[in-house]
Amino acid sequence: MTIEVAPRRVHIIQGEWKVLSDPNAVLSTILGSCVAACLRDPVAGVGGMNHFLLPGTGNTPMSGGDATRYGVHLMELLINGLLKQGARRDRLEAKIFGGAKTISTFSNVGEQNAAFAAEFLKDEGIPVVGGSTGGDHGRKLEFWPVSGRARQYPLTGAETQRTVALEQRPAPVQKPVETSIEFF
């Protein structure tokens, strides 16, 4: 008799990224026009996911929570997080998800997000081995960072609208990390 271990779920919200090496962990997120890049090093047994709202870097100086909205910032954080956990850049592989056109009257920022992620990874020499982008409905994504397995579920119209509402809210402001040391 084998006992199956329930996966440890870690949810990623807009502006976040996580790196894990737990084979029983699954990263999950809900995407509309946002994109999630899922990267892993299959030899080191480590992987991660990010969730960004806008492509590129924006046209204005970024600080705090503003930076977490943009793809370039979160892609760099994810790659550096993987490298710090023992991954090697030459072994990284990626999957890209999201980028739906959730509101027909808006510009297609989802398409721009997906194109940005693909171009960024190409420029970094990281092959895209799978994923699913585009469409007109949101999706729920699950990614097992050690095995590289990914699964997505399409969202209904009402679920997609809730996701769009969340994407239109300002990104949470990240609190600065305390770096000072007090000696006694």
What are the residue boundaries of the structural domains of the chain, listed by start?
8-168
Task: Say whether pLDDT at 118 is over 80.
Answer: yes
Domain range 8-168, CATH class: alpha beta
**Span 12-18, mean pLDDT?**
95
- Catalytic residue, chosen from 34, 35, 53, 155, is 34
Percent of the chain with pLDDT over 90: 63
The more confidently predicted of residues 115 and 165 is 115
Contact 29, 74 (CB under 8 A): no
pLDDT of residue 41: 98
Look at 49-63, 88-102, 105-119, 141-155 and tell me which has the smallest mean pLDDT: 49-63
Task: Say whether pLDDT at 120 is over 70.
Answer: yes
Task: Tell me, rounded to whole angstroms, the distance of Cα 122 from its chain centroid.
Answer: 17
**0.95 exceeded by pTM:** no
- Report the mean per-residue pLDDT for the chain: 84
How far apart, in whole angstroms, are the C-alpha atoms of residue 92 and residue 150? Answer: 16
Q: Are strands 128-133 and 139-143 parallel, antiparallel or unpaired?
A: unpaired
Phi and psi angles of residue 119, each rounded to the nearest 5 degrees, phi first: -70, -40
Task: Say whether pLDDT at 1 is over 80.
Answer: no
Task: Say whether pLDDT at 88 is over 80.
Answer: yes
Percent of the chain with pLDDT over 70: 73
34 is catalytic: yes
